[in-house]
Amino acid sequence: MNDKPTILLVEDDPFLSSILQLKLDKENFKTIRAADGEEALNLLTEQGIKPDVILLDLILPKKNGFEVLETIRQDPTLEKLPVIIISNLGQPSDIERGKSLGVIDYFVKARLSVDELVNKIKEEIVKKA
């Protein structure tokens, strides 16, 4: 039985993705990576993965993060999943759109502190417990 909290990391930048995964693994999370929006939705819907938190980039191949988020929010089995956006899109309109789709936080990559991100994930998991 794996009792590590699961994080679905949806990020197309292999470098950032591996840095985040290393950090999350070190913090005792199980990290599942998806490189594009379609793969993320496939993992959630077809493979039935129910992560504790989804880290979602917005600028993604195939389906962008907003499309993924909208799909998640329309699916009764997924709609309650906590989503944290990590994106280069830092415009207030993008942040507003993310928040209107129920994300628990929005990190702009240029100002991203990996420690802050990990703390936010931990907070969210404690809330769920």
Question: Model-level pTM greater than 0.85?
Answer: yes
The per-residue pLDDT for 2 is 58
Question: What digits encode the pLDDT tens for the residues 16-31?
Answer: 999 999 999 999 999 9
Residue from 4, 47, 10 nearest 32 by CA: 10
- State residue 1's pLDDT score: 42
Sign of the alpha-carbon torsion through 51, 55, 58, 61: negative
Pairing between β-strand 53-56 and β-strand 30-34 as defined by DSSP bridges? unpaired
**Domains delineated in the chain:** 1-54+72-87+103-111 (3.40.50.2300)
User: Which secondary structure element, helix H or strand E, spans residue 108, and what is its range?
Assistant: strand 105-108
Higher pLDDT, 2 or 98: 98
| Residues 6+ away with beta carbon under 8 Å from 92 | none
Cα dihedral 66, 83, 104, 95, rounded to 10, equals: -20
- What is the average per-residue pLDDT within 43-49? 93
